[in-house]
Chain A
Amino acid sequence: RKEVEQDPGPFNVPEGATVAFNCTYSNSASQSFFWYRQDCRKEPKLLMSVYSSGNEDGRFTAQLNRASQYISLLIRDSKLSDSATYLCVVNRYSSASKIIFGSGTRLSIRP
């Protein structure tokens, strides 16, 4: 079993729809959580950190459920420009030494 698992998708949704991704992690010692976005043939870019209390940034909402060991990303009112691969990232310890990437979820927004 992978340490960080994501549904690879692709998710194909119409513009304006709401879409949600989940990511599960197996190591309960994981400390920090992030969502990254990666466009085709580009480097990943930090989308948002995920805090225990949940956090929102515009149309994006991230939540963490430590008991069930998953994080989620919700995108409201999706735009064509949201089409990308979304990577779940887990920092296993409180140091920077172990950053684990999920394999990514592909999202395609259609007009």
Chain B
Amino acid sequence: GAVVSQHPSRVICKSGTSVKIECRSLDFQATTMFWYRQFPKQSLMLMATSNEGSKATYEQGVEKDKFLINHASLTLSTLTVTSAHPEDSSFYICSATVTSGGAYEQYFGPGTRLTVT
């Protein structure tokens, strides 16, 4: 299957600082990537759709000025959590879409665990 990487895998930051998370498609080009957030014992919640060369599309309730997404190339999307607060502590996962037999399959990065102190 397709490989998606994320960096860093774990980050601890102080409240008020910004954190950048990278998502890369390693063996394919991804015009669209997705960013999810998952709180403990809850399902993945789609935050935004990242489109290469254009603005990201944010889900309702997600602040675009707080969660900055940049998809500058076909293999890299970044999510920057600006002015992080403890409530932003979560597991952030990116995914990219691969077309297979007419269906769209999602491949996920390993996730980034963010802890804001």
Contact = CB atoms under 8 A, between A and B. Distances in A.
B106 to A, nearest CB: 6
Nearest to B1: A46
A43 B93 contact: yes
Main secondary structure of the interface of B (DSSP, over half): strand
Nearest to B107: A46
Interface in B1-56: 1, 32, 34, 42-46, 49
B41 to A, nearest CB: 9
A32 interface: yes
Interface in A80-111: 87, 89, 91, 95-97, 99-104
A61 to B, nearest CB: 18
Contacts of B110: 42-43
Nearest to B113: A41
Nearest to B32: A96
Interface residues of B, number: 26
Interface residues of A, number: 23
Nearest to A2: B43
B43 A45 contact: no
B36 to A, nearest CB: 8
Contacts of A102: 43
B63 interface: no
Contacts of B113: 41
A72 interface: no
B44 A101 contact: yes
B111 A49 contact: no
Nearest to B91: A41
23 contacts: A32-B103, A34-B105, A34-B106, A42-B111, A43-B108, A43-B110, A44-B93, A49-B101, A49-B105, A87-B43, A89-B106, A91-B104, A96-B32, A96-B97, A96-B104, A97-B49, A99-B95, A99-B104, A101-B44, A101-B45, A101-B46, A102-B43, A103-B43
Interface of B: 1, 32, 34, 42-46, 49, 57, 91, 93, 95, 97, 100-101, 103-111, 113
